[in-house]
């Protein structure tokens, strides 16, 4: 069974991460030291560990924040809602329909037919949310999934991004799914992520954290400057 590990990306912010089998998906519990309120980002296939981590910290979740509707990022929604019945599910408007559709959320192909409770709030690019004492900017970056969003905590020092499957350490999300689009993904990364300060910490949906500056310098798939079009 996975064990959560805690990270302090900013002086007044804590992030507990649970890596869920079988896809190595990262679920994040985000909170401020000394406060009870927290956020849960992308609860995966190990919701029991996530719930234990929340209770061990004496926390009360205020929202489930979903970056995109693929099954490994929504598998824990139902279990968290059983534990906290009024807990709202927040997801980008373009991916909200995936929650109840096993084909669209890709679980059907694995013979699971997983569904989630429906969204309580569908958000759009440019919205700012105030939840659990945090200011969260929504940025839509399609390409891995057509309605994928990232959550930017821009008021933190340094800023923090929960990037789902958009940007990984020296990699990017797959674009070979039915609604994938590499050009859209690369454009969104440059517009919404590479424009952030270099010390911005990126918490991805899989793998270790990284920074915007590191990816601008070392990401082989999306360099900071778009290469010129071939003649």
pLDDT tens per residue across span 91-126:
999 999 999 999 999 999 888 899 999 999 999 999
- pLDDT tens-digit readout, 148-198: 999 999 999 999 999 999 999 999 999 999 999 999 999 999 999 999 999
Query: Considering its fold, how many domains does the chain have in total?
Result: 1
Asked if residue 224 is part of any domain, the answer here is no
CATH of residue 115: 3.60.15.10
Asked if residue 197 is part of any domain, the answer here is yes
Asked if residue 15 is part of any domain, the answer here is yes
Give Cβ neighbours of residue 46 (< 8 Å, ≥ 6 apart): 1, 2, 18, 19, 20, 21, 27, 76
Asked if residue 122 is part of any domain, the answer here is yes
- pLDDT tens-digit readout, 1-58: 567 778 888 889 999 999 999 999 999 999 999 999 999 999 999 999 999 999 999 9
Asked if residue 228 is part of any domain, the answer here is no
Asked if residue 185 is part of any domain, the answer here is yes
Structural domain for 44, as ranges: 5-218
Asked if residue 78 is part of any domain, the answer here is yes
Q: What is the value of pTM for the model shown? A: 0.96
Is 65 in contact with 95 (CB distance < 8 Å)? no
Find tokens 């010129």 and name the residue: 228
Asked if residue 179 is part of any domain, the answer here is yes
Is 211 in contact with 205 (CB distance < 8 Å)? no
- Give phi and psi for 4, each to the nearest 5: -70, 145
């Amino acid at each position: 069974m996975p064990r959560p590990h805690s990270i302090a990306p900013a002086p007044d912010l804590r992030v507990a991460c649970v890596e869920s089998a079988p896809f190595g998906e990262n679920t994040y519990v985000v909170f401020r030291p000394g406060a009870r309120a927290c956020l849960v980002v992308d609860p995966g296939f190990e919701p029991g560990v996530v719930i234990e981590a929340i209770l061990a910290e004496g926390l009360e979740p205020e929202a489930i924040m979903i970056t995109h509707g693929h099954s490994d990022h929504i598998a824990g929604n139902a279990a968290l809602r059983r534990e906290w019945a009024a807990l709202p599910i927040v997801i980008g408007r373009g991916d909200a329909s995936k929650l109840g559709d096993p084909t669209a959320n890709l679980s059907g192909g694995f013979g699971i037919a997983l569904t989630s409770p429906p969204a309580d709030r569908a958000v759009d690019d440019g919205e700012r949310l105030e939840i659990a004492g945090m200011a969260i900017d929504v940025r839509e970056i399609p390409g891995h999934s057509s309605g994928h969003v990232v959550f930017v905590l821009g008021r933190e020092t340094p800023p923090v991004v929960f990037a789902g499957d958009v940007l990984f350490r020296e990699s990017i999300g797959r674009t070979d799914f039915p609604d994938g689009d590499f050009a859209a993904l690369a454009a969104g990364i440059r517009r919404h992520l590479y424009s952030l300060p270099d010390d911005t910490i990126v918490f991805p949906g899989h793998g270790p954290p990284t920074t915007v500056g590191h990816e601008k310098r070392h990401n082989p798939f999306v360099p900071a400057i778009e290469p010129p079009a071939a003649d």
